[in-house]
Chain A
Amino acid sequence: MSLALDKSLRSAAARSQSSSLMDRIFSALVLGSTAIVLLSLLGVFVALAVGAWPALQKFGFGFLVTEVWNPVTAQFGAVAPIFGTLVTSLVAMLIGVPISIGIAIFMTELCPDRLRRPLGIAIELLAGIPSIIYGIWGLFVLAPFMQQHVQPLLIDTLGELPIIGNLFQGPPYGIGILTAGLVLGIMVLPFITAVARDVFLTVPAMVRESAYGIGATTWEVVWRVVIPYCKVGLLGGVMLGLGRALGETMAVTFVIGNAHRISSSILAPGTTISASIANEFTEATTDIYTSSLVALGLILFFITFVVLSISRMMLRRLR
């Protein structure tokens, strides 16, 4: 390599005049490519805004507060999908966050060195499985299992309780908000786990060892020293997972049931923004219908943009 390099450098020096031109061409090339990347993000925003305009113009602010979604009468409101998106993501976070942090604790504090790498690879494989696979698995394996075993149990136990019992009412459909949230929870595991493990490893050994030195148990070291030390980074990881869950499409579309209504029970079918778009976009026959779906996309883009921005700011110190 050095010989070839030497040769090429020498010839480059000989052509120093043409090289200043090449320098300009190359820097224009890299800057131009960067501009294209930037324009694509700007383009997403502009294209969605243009596509959503007819719907936003017709329904105005009402679009955000109306539950009706009726293609026949051309009345569209975004409340049900927004509600579904937020609730499924909340369920996903309730399941995914403690489990992810648990795995990260296991990987950094408990795991024998030999197991650490295989476990890391396994978690990354979980991240590599495409969302459509989670969807087909959720529909054919998880949903029937939920219907036959988990949901009847929930209805008979938690469903009997006052107040929170409302969350577990109705027949066990199998598909629905809870199942979608569970699939999402499994899907965000690898993302949150990877960030949590990385931030845990940023804790200086001396801080950790000082805590052990004064007689703290492993749990006390984690809970009182490690987690407080990296709570900002940890929150960044959670927000990253939330961003994923909010925008996830295929896995949810399979198991959510696609019902445009708000139900107090998390066992009931519902819909999310992304599932509505995926399910209905090619069937949308009128312009206002298509435009309403694009408007949903705009809302989703805005929500995920905010969540991911927060995540990125919190994780900035890590890099």
Chain B
Amino acid sequence: MTLQSRRRAKNLVALAFATAASAFGLFWLAVILWTLLYNGVTGLSPVLVTEATPPPGSGAGGLGNAILGSLLMNGLAILVATPLGILAGTWLAEYARHSKFGEVVRFLNDILLSAPSIIVGLFVYELMVVPMHHFSGWAGAVALAIIAIPVIVRTTQDMLMLVPSSLREAAAALGAPRWRVITSVAYRAALSGILTGVLLALARVSGETAPLLFTALNNQFWSSDMNAPMGNLPVVIFQFALSPYDDWQQLAWNGALLITVAILLTNIAARMLAAGKKSSRG
């Protein structure tokens, strides 16, 4: 074999591998989504939302209480995380852009962003469940908020950094004080980017299971009492999927489909918000 054809053959093999790798990635996405759809559509009915989780073997019931609990805790978590995350992101982008301390905070925030979520669950267990002596919806919401905050901090910071300095300088030249420059000029220019970050944070916390296992625990009955253990979709899926009962496993699949569709839609909404901004700017 000549050198030329050997190089060409090597090239072909390598590029075929790269193509196969892409097909491999897409294959798993397709398989997972198809399995979810195939197993999750069976038994999909309004009862799923209106009825509470059933005792095993009864063949009836739904996921209503878990959906309610998830909505409450996710909503509360985002409500807490949004102002905190945006303000901290503002500090990083507007007050500490070039400072050493800002660099340290940025570093730690990035670590928090990828830290294992079960660690956050343990933290909130020690922080809230141990002193309160019981699991609660509050603890679950706090755990989810701690996971959401770094996402919002990071996107807020990145989006504010994209706002051209000339805008800020123009406002400052008109005599606007700094807080005015930030709230009336920088925030407005970065608004859709910041909202994208909030949506991404919502998508992230909606699927989190590990931090809820020993903070909110679970509750098989309807409850909106944040001071008591609270039902939630991810933990119900976990418990029902590992149970030996067919009807519970079926509900787990239904729940898995619901949660995935909700998360993918949130992700798509976030992308559209970000893309819409780009085209209106250009």
Contact = CB atoms under 8 A, between A and B. Distances in A.
B41 interface: no
B253 A136 contact: yes
B111 A34 contact: no
Interface size range on B against A: 35 or more
Contacts of A43: 123, 127
Contacts of B109: 37
B119 interface: yes
Interface in B97-142: 105, 107-112, 114-120, 122-123, 125-127, 130
Interface in A243-263: 243-244, 246-250, 253-254
Interface stretch (A55-63, A73-81, A157-165, A212-220): A212-220
A196 B108 CA distance: 23
Residue among B18, B84, B127 facing the most chain A CB atoms (10 A cut-off): B18
A222 interface: yes
Contact of A23 (B105, B179, B188): B179
B166 interface: no
Given A23-B178, A50-B126, A132 B217 contact: no
Interface of B: 7-8, 10-11, 14-15, 17-22, 24-26, 28-29, 31-32, 35-36, 39, 83-85, 87-88, 90-92, 94-96, 105, 107-112, 114-120, 122-123, 125-127, 130, 146, 149-150, 153, 171, 174-180, 182-185, 188, 203, 206-210, 213-214, 217, 234, 237-238, 241-242, 249, 252-253, 256, 259-260, 263-264, 267, 271
Interface of A: 1, 5-6, 8-9, 12-13, 16, 19-20, 22-23, 25-27, 29-34, 36-38, 40-41, 43-44, 47-48, 50-51, 98-103, 105-107, 109-111, 119, 121-126, 128-137, 139-141, 186, 189-190, 193, 217-220, 222-223, 240, 243-244, 246-250, 253-254, 274, 277-278, 281-282, 294, 297, 300-301, 304-305, 308-309, 312
